[in-house]
Amino acid sequence: MAVAAFLDALAAVLAGTLLCAGMAKLAVPAHLSRAIGELAPAVGSRAVVLARVVAVAEVSTALALSAPAARGAGAVAGVVLGATFAGAGIVASNRGLGMPCGCFGRAGGRSLGARNVAFGFILAGSSALLLRVGSGGWAAPEGLPMLGTAATAVVLAGWLYQDMIRDLAPSLGLRGRKVLQSRGTG
Amino acid sequence: MIYVLAFMVLLLTAVMIMFFAMLGELYSRVGPAPAATGPLQEAKVGQRPQAWPRELAPLATATDAVLLVLSTSCASCVQVAGQLRDRFEPMTGYVTGVVLSTADPDRAEAFVREHGLPRDSVYVDVEGAWVTTEFGVLTSPSALILRDGQLSSALVFTDVAALQSAVAPAT
């Protein structure tokens, strides 16, 4: 039971991460397409299409991992995606590429490299584990895994856009604080 | 039924993330909202301190100087200190010093190290005693504009760029 619950949680975390990355890239594929263009100059203007394909693949994998009947297929897709990310990270590291990866649809940030290799291995390894041990369905009650995926995606989005949220929330960080109010915590 | 509801939640989450990504892109292009600056009401404009700490001594004789009041326990001060890392004297022509208010001097030393501030220009003001006594200032982050060692104006701010816009270059 504990193993099944762990696998459920693992699948929800993977699916939430992929959902967040995929939907963000669907909305803003430009940054990933630039990284793809640097990684594989031969693709030219098709880099945007490739970025959207990656995004759709991530979202599809996330949905499959969240649906009990499709968990096995989602795990297979997770292995393939993980291997692709790791491969891209290794190639980019070897070539010393500097374009931000746009992995979550955002401008700036780190370029393709060690982080992508690490995430790729984690995704592929976890998906392989799900495929081997936990592809038979969910231990959690019906519907709960999808909520777990949604919760993971919301938390991740909140963390990714924390600067924007903090800046746009007028009550946070825009007002000065009393010096003497800091006595308690110094 | 629960399955359908859960799927709807997942769908709404996906759409919300898409909107966040679009908004994030817009935010990165337009930049953050202009940071607020405003006069610091409690400051004793016209005041000349009786005594200056060693770290702030150059401000006493400078024609134009700016004294930045930060605190170890204020989130905006961390942001300002991060901005000072690249350029400690943010305003051309102004001698710059920092008063770092704190309840714990060790924490203040760690704050200075963490943000790469020049230690010899930072006065650690335990519980804000000096800055409150000499200038009546209770708010951080704030900037005290000094002319010949005398407080000529005081601003509350949360962003160095906004402070630069609010204060005219020294002549």
Residue B170's pLDDT band, with cuts at 50, 70 and 90, is low
Provide the pLDDT for residue B171: 53
The minimum CA-CA distance between B59 and chain A, rounded to whole Å, is 21
Quote the CA–CA distance of B43 and B65 in Å, as a whole number. 16
Q: Do residue A19 and residue B17 have CB atoms under 8 angstroms apart? A: yes
Provide the pLDDT for residue A141: 65
Which one has a higher pLDDT value, A95 or B169?
Answer: A95
Q: Do residue B141 and residue A176 have CB atoms under 8 angstroms apart? A: yes
Provide the pLDDT for residue A181: 41
Q: Do residue B10 and residue A147 have CB atoms under 8 angstroms apart? A: yes
Provide the pLDDT for residue A170: 54
- B71 at interface of A, judged by CB pairs closer than 8 A: yes
Buried b (16+ CB within 10 A) or exposed e, B73-85: bbebbbbbbeebe
Quote the CA–CA distance of A102 and A1 in Å, as a whole number. 38
Model pTM? 0.59
- B37 at interface of A, judged by CB pairs closer than 8 A: no
Residue with tokens 């704030």: B142
CA-wise closest residue to A179 among B40, B13, B22? B40
Q: Do residue B17 and residue A24 have CB atoms under 8 angstroms apart? A: yes
Residues 115-174 of A with CB under 8 A from B: 141-147, 149-150, 153-154, 157, 160-161, 163-164, 167-168, 173-174
Tell me the pairing of strands B38-39 and B150-156.
antiparallel
Please name the member of A164, A177, A182 whose beta carbon is closest to the beta carbon of B24.
A164
Quote the CA–CA distance of B95 and A81 in Å, as a whole number. 55
Quote the CA–CA distance of B54 and B62 in Å, as a whole number. 14
Quote the CA–CA distance of A64 and A22 in Å, as a whole number. 13
B45: three-class secondary structure by DSSP = coil
* B122 C-beta neighbours (distance < 10 Å), count: 25
Mean pLDDT across chain B, nearest whole number? Answer: 86
Provide the pLDDT for residue B34: 56
Answer whether the bond into residue B39 is a cis peptide, omega within 30°.
Answer: no
Residues 79-98 of B with CB under 8 A from A: 79
The minimum CA-CA distance between A166 and chain B, rounded to whole Å, is 10
Tell me the pairing of strands B142-147 and B64-71.
antiparallel
DSSP letter for B149, please: T
CA-wise closest residue to B15 among A74, A49, A165, A22? A22
> Which residues, given as ranges, of chain A have pLDDT below 50?
171-186
Please name the member of B13, B21, B140 whose beta carbon is closest to the beta carbon of A177.
B140
Provide the pLDDT for residue A1: 66
> ipTM greater than 0.85, yes or no?
no
Which tokens go with B157? 């701010």
CA-wise closest residue to A87 among A54, A61, A120? A120
Provide the pLDDT for residue A176: 42
The minimum CA-CA distance between B18 and chain A, rounded to whole Å, is 5
Which one has a higher pLDDT value, A164 or B135?
Answer: B135
- Chain A residues touching residue B17 (CB < 8 angstroms): 19-20, 23-24, 27, 153-154, 157
- Chain B residues touching residue A104 (CB < 8 angstroms): 21
- The residue count of chain A comes to 186
Task: Summarize pLDDT for B3-51 with one digit per residue, the tens.
Answer: 788 888 989 999 999 999 998 888 877 766 555 677 888 888 888 898 8
